[in-house]
Amino acid sequence: MGERDRHRELVGPAPQGEARRLTRELRAAIEEVRSAVLVLAARVRAAHQARVWAALGYSGWAAYAGAEFGVSRSTAYRLLDLAAAAEAIEDVVARQVGPELSHAWDTGLVLPVRAVVDLKGRIAELADLIAERLADAQAEAGGAPLEPGRVGEVVAGAVAELRERPDVPVAELAVAGGPDGYDAEAWRRHVTAGRPLVAEQQQNDRALGEIALRLAPAHLSDRSALPVLAVYADFVGEDPELFLACRRYLITGDWRAVEDDYRGRQARDLLARHGEEQ
């Protein structure tokens, strides 16, 4: 009798002994999957670093993976992303809590396909966040060693936290820097908090542009559209120039029609008036 047939015969509730046996088998299967993903990640990275496709006569990694394993181009590159993420997590966990716990996280829960896609290009940021959260967990434990389950929770939580954050690349912050008096982490928090607000502003400008286009269709010039928009703006208590700018945004698809032409001009006018008052 095969493994599948043996389990198909069991109709619950099972006796306690049988339930414990099935639980042990399930635990072992989960561990095998976890180990298999980590082995896969390590072997993908080793094969890519060795440029195996060149030795076998393929034009590149995607062509090699498609011919040898029957996977699509996107899957071939997603394997590389998985390998990079898994390696980074293993390394940071090993450094922070010890190599014996480097595998103490559930790859199936922590790195599903969607997570791998979301984390692409953010591996360094992920490693920093995991290290920070593990340090917090160690402090909460009063210096006592972390249990494997706790390590897994921390890693999963860090991955979920990063996936919810807007993407603020480390390189971007390093180049832009922050004002004097702000450390890097504080500046990152402020930028992260501000990004969703800017995205919301862009959505609002788009909604205003849609209203403006219904009132003054795209075939009208700005000169012809402005009187109609001025009447509407007076009713809703807004500057007609804003509606005109949002209308240009919808027509061109370029948000700079609002941010640079309208708000930028307002800011420059404000600074000019402030300079005159000095």
Shared domain for 75 and 198, answered yes or no, is no
pLDDT tens sequence across 172-197: 544 455 566 666 667 777 777 777 77
Is 125 among the domain residues? Answer: yes
The angle subtended at Cα 245 by Cα 242 and Cα 251, nearest 5°, is: 145
Task: Tell me how many degrees the CA angle 78-80-85 measures, rounded to the nearest 5.
Answer: 95
74 lies in the same domain as 134 = yes
Model pLDDT, residue 68: 93
Quick check: 107 and 33 in contact, CB under 8 A? yes
Angle between helix 123-140 and 73-97 (nearest 10): 30
Q: Are 154 and 133 in contact (CB under 8 A)?
A: yes
**Structural domain contains residue 172:** no
1: confidence class by pLDDT, cuts 50, 70, 90: very low
For the chain, give the mean pLDDT: 78
In a domain, 7, yes or no: no
- Assign residue 238 a region: left if phi > 0, alpha if psi is -120 to 50, beta otherwise? beta
Would the pLDDT of 248 be above 60? yes
Last-in-domain residue among 133, 165, 197: 165
Give the model confidence (pLDDT) of 66-112 as tens digits: 999 998 887 888 788 888 888 888 888 888 888 776 665 655 555 55
Q: What does the pLDDT average to over 210-221? A: 90
Domain end residue (candidates: 165, 194, 218): 165
Q: Could you tell me if 202 and 126 lie in one domain?
A: no
The residue that leads in pLDDT, 168 or 231, is 231
**pLDDT tier at 215 (50, 70, 90 boundaries)?**
very high
For residues 128 and 38, membership in a common domain is answered with yes
Give dist(CA 224, CA 275) in Å, integer: 34
Q: Which residue has the higher pLDDT, 269 or 256?
A: 256
Nearest to 243 by CA among 199, 203, 210, 202: 210
Residue 224 has what pLDDT?
92
Buried b / exposed e along 88-108 (16+ C-beta atoms within 10 A): bbbebbeebbeeebbbbbbbe
Question: Are 146 and 206 within one domain?
Answer: no
Tell me the mean pLDDT in the region 222-241.
90
User: Higher confidence at residue 255 or residue 55?
Assistant: 55
pLDDT of residue 175: 45
pLDDT at 39: 79
The residue to which tokens 């922050």 are assigned: 178
Task: Tell me what pLDDT residue 34 has.
Answer: 65
In this structure, the answer to whether residues 135 and 237 fall within a common structural domain is no
DSSP-derived letter for residue 33 is: H
Q: What is the mean pLDDT of residues 215-236?
A: 90
**pLDDT of the residue at 151:** 84
Q: Which of 74, 87, 152 is nearest to 113 (CA)?
A: 74
Q: Are 252 and 260 in contact (CB under 8 A)?
A: no
In this prediction, residue 10 carries a pLDDT of 54
Whether the ω angle into residue 13 lies within 30 degrees of 0, i.e. cis, is yes
What's the predicted TM-score (pTM) here? Answer: 0.49
Range of the domain at 81: 16-165
Half-sphere exposure at residue 92, Cβ-oriented, CA atoms within 13 angstroms: 24
Q: Same domain for 24 and 146?
A: yes
26 and 141 share one domain: yes
